[in-house]
Structure 1
């Protein structure tokens, strides 16, 4: 027979599995309908449980979104930590851009709910605040990545370059997530091309690119 210590552990394990099941169902619903149109009934139906079971773990839709958002932020932090690691100046600019874009796109394609939840019009305030902090952190990381190769530019201009890169990426990401297969791959390549053509004359041979030639 299970000991008195094993029983609580088993209940806890079942509870964790149920929470994970509900969060994955919520991710599907938020992605397909958006946060505003989603309901706890739709999430419970997607998870294959009764609304009563859902309410045992989450009091409302906002609580589900906040828990899911926190986990997504942690996953995203791990992704950008790897993608925006310091770069060897000998690596060509095209390889750097390709690697960074590929890792960020891979995360967002695997977890489309991140874009749907973090950039929706009516997400809970706590999620919006977390996203604002996350966005600033990513900008800072991009700025730190570029700074050693843009030594002629003042800090505020490097910040501007980082912000433009992020804005271009976000605009491209929305187009990319709306497509699949070869069409999606083509849009990914277009995004890489835009970023490369923007950065190349700024960075030049300091990141393996080719500086613009004078007349």
Structure 2
């Protein structure tokens, strides 16, 4: 595989990754072929192999692309809130952009669950999510200085679990994903309130 770092090469790689996401969603990861991915990208299989060795190589690239974009979303939400932001607004500011991003990248859940995904990539995804939770704990600590750290850590992890567990179901309750997201924010707000965490 040749290394392509020119603007044109990077654009071609991005197009292949985008095509792979479409093919993975349509055919499933196991049934997807490099020929199908090349066709979706509008290039020949030979051109694809100039950028990626095989389907697993493409799978890794899809995950790394997702990780990069997820990290960008996480970074973008923090400047919108601080220790004085009302709790309901804080929760919405954190969760709504993440819900929108994850809905727009629903195929990733299937890719992430694939048994051929290398463990180190799972660890990278988990690391990005853990960094978010750690920063959330720090924010909660600034808002609740008298609350024990372990209480805040448990609350942050539980809120994250509620959020991640509910993501696949958004839209199935009211038929409107945005409304369901707001309802989920209300549930998490009520949970934090029950723990007397502002």
| Shorter-chain TM-score tier | 0.7 to 0.9
Q: Which runs of 5+ in 1 are unaligned?
A: 1-10, 208-215
Superposed displacement of residue 82, structure 1? 2.2
After superposition, the Cα gap between the structure-2 partners of 1:174 and 1:80, relative to the gap in structure 1 and judged at 3 Å, is same
C-alpha separation between the residues in 1 aligned to 2:54 and 2:72?
28
* Alpha carbons 1:84, 1:145 under 8 Å: kept: no
1:86 Cα offset (Å): 7.7
User: After TM superposition, where is structure 1 displaced by more than 4 Å over at least 4 residues in a row?
Assistant: none
Question: Given the two structures, how large is their TM-score scaled by the length of structure 1?
Answer: 0.77
1:198 lines up with 2:188 in the alignment: no
TM-score (norm 2): 0.83
Please tell me whether the aligned partners of residues 39 and 61 of structure 1 are also in contact (alpha carbons under 8 angstroms): yes
| Residue equivalent to 1:58 | 52
**Is the 8 Å Cα contact of residues 84 and 143 (structure 2) preserved in structure 1?**
no
- 2:20 — aligned with what? 26
Is the 2:34–2:55 Cα contact (8 Å) retained in structure 1?
Answer: yes
* Of 61, 71, 77, the match for 1:77: 71
Of 166-175 and 147-156, more deviation after overlay is shown by 147-156
Partner of 1:151: 145
Structure 2 runs not aligned, ≥5 long? none
Report the alpha carbon displacement of residue 143 of structure 1 after superposing the two structures with TM: 0.9
The alignment status of 1:101 with 2:95, answered yes or no, reads yes
Could you say which residue in structure 1 is the equivalent of 2:37? Answer: 43
In our comparison, the structure showing a higher alpha carbon Rg is: 1
Query: Structure 1 residue 166 and structure 2 residue 160: aligned?
Result: yes
Conserved? CA contact 1:66–1:126, under 8 Å? no
Q: Cα offset for 1:167? A: 0.4
Moved more, 87-96 or 166-175: 87-96
Match of 2:179 among 186, 189, 193: 186
- SS state of the match for residue 52, structure 2? coil
Aligned-pair Cα RMSD in Å: 2.5
3-state SS in 2 of match to 1:58: coil
Which position in structure 1 is the counterpart of 2:6? 12
For residues 86 and 106 of structure 1, do their structure 2 counterparts lie closer, same or farther at Cα, with a shift above 3 Å needed?
Answer: closer
